[in-house]
Amino acid sequence: MSAELAKQECQACQVDAPKVSDDELATLLAQIPDWVPEVNDGIMMLERVYKFKNYKLAWAFANKVSELAEQEFHHPAILLEWGKVKVTWWTHAIKGLHKNDFICAAKTDQLL
């Protein structure tokens, strides 16, 4: 199902764009089961930790995520560590989750 999300493109968001509803949240999370909704500083975000055999592989993946972010003009937090990369998507303009975040999460999964 994440393949369907990954085929979609991000839409430019404004401050008044609607956040994902609770019903939409459940439906969209089912399509990206490895992602976890987390609340940081009162803002709901999507997070996933990817594990790698070494720093170089993690670094290469983080670079791919950065390229994806530029293509979509939607930018996550990326934490690069030895053997792992934590990617966190949320929509800054609305201080929460938008469908764009789920699209980008699905596209991130396809970078593996």
CATH, residue 44: 3.30.1360.20
Helices 55-72, 99-109: axis angle to 10 degrees equals: 140
Write down the pTM of the prediction: 0.95
Residue 5 lies in a domain: no
Q: Band the pLDDT of 1: cuts 50, 70, 90.
A: low
Q: How many domains does the chain have?
A: 1
Residue 91 lies in a domain: yes
Beta carbons within 10 angstroms of residue 105's beta carbon? 26
Q: What is the pLDDT of residue 107?
A: 98
Q: What is the pLDDT of residues 50-109, one digit of tens each?
A: 999 999 999 999 999 999 999 999 999 999 999 999 999 999 999 999 999 999 999 999
Residue 71 lies in a domain: yes
Distance between start and end Cα atoms, the chain: 16
Domain interval for residue 44 = 18-109
Cα separation values, 24 from 58, 65, 81, Å: 31, 25, 32
- Cβ(9)–Cβ(102) below 8 Å: no
Residue 13 lies in a domain: no
